[in-house]
Amino acid sequence: MSTMSRAFMAKVAAVIALTFALSSCYIPDNFHSELRLSRYGDWALTFDGDLIYAPILHDYADGKITAENEEERNNNIYKDLVRDPAIKTMTRVGKGRFNIKYERMGRLGKVQLSALLRRDARMLALKSQEDGTIIIAGNGVKSSDAQRMAELGITMRGEFRITTDGNVVRHNATEVRQFGTYKVYIWKIENAFSPPPNLVMLRDNDPQRPL
C-alpha cells in the first residue's frame, strides 16, 4: 500500500472512531433497515423495527420506575420521538420500547453530517468530506454497555443493508450481493456485541448537479 493510501485509510479510521464515540440514547431491536446510496451522494434511508430508550431500562432495573411515574416517563420518550417528521408511524410497546417506521431522504453536500435519528441521538451517521469521501458508520456499543444490555434481556437483533452503485473502498459487511449495476452490502446484527456497520466510498462528480 502506498504512503498516500495508508494516510487516507488512517484518516478514514480516525473519523469512524470519532463517530463511534458519539453514543445514542436509542437502541434498535427486531429491525430491518436499508440505505440506498447513489455514487453522487443521493440517499434514501428506511428503518422498520423497535427503538428502545436505553436510560429508562437502567431505571427499571434499579427500581426507579414506579407505578406513579411510569406513564409520564414513557410519555416523555414518545414526545421526543414523535417530533421527528421522518417517523411515519409509531406504536407504544412498553417499558421504553416503541415500534416505528422511519423514512428519510436527501443529498449529501460537499461537507455534511446526517444521521438516523438525529445528531444528538444518532444510531447511524452519514458523513461526507471535501475530498469526496462518504462514510457510513453505525453507532458502537461499549462492551460494558453490551454486557448490561444482555443482562436486561435486550437482543439488539436485526439487519442493515446498503445498496449502492458507488466506488466502495472499505466495508465490514457480513455479506455482499450483486444486483445489476448495484451491490448490496448486508450486515446481520445478532446482538450488542456485533461489530457496528461501516462503509467508505468515494463520491463521483455529478456533471448535471455540481456541488
142 pLDDT higher than 80: no
C-beta of residue 21 within 8 angstroms of C-beta of residue 145: no
Q: In what order do the strands lie in the sheet with 158-164?
A: 87-94, 97-107, 42-53, 26-37, 158-164, 182-189, 175-179
C-beta of residue 197 within 8 angstroms of C-beta of residue 187: yes
Three-class DSSP category at 172 = coil
Q: How far apart are CA 182 and CA 29, in angstroms?
A: 27
> Tens of pLDDT along 119-128?
677 889 999 9
CA separation, residue 58 to residues 20, 148, 166 (Å): 21, 9, 41
> Tens of pLDDT along 41-99?
999 999 999 999 988 888 888 899 999 999 999 999 999 999 999 999 999 999 999 99
CA 59 to mean position of chain CA atoms: 25
Three-class DSSP category at 59 = helix
198 Cβ contact partners less than 8 Å away, ≥ 6 residues apart? 16, 135, 136, 137, 138, 170, 171, 172
204 pLDDT higher than 70: yes
Give the single-character DSSP code of 10: H
> Tens of pLDDT along 7-52?
444 443 333 333 333 345 889 999 999 999 999 999 999 999 999 9
Q: How far apart are CA 191 and CA 11, in angstroms?
A: 28
Q: How far apart are CA 124 and CA 20, in angstroms?
A: 9
Give the rounded percent of residues in the chain with a pLDDT score beyond 70.
88
Residue 171 neighbours by CB distance under 10 Å: 16
So what's the pLDDT on residue 20?
Answer: 33
Three-class DSSP category at 85 = coil
**pTM (2 d.p.):** 0.83
178 pLDDT higher than 90: yes
C-beta of residue 204 within 8 angstroms of C-beta of residue 166: yes
Residue tagged 445498496 (cell numbers): 163
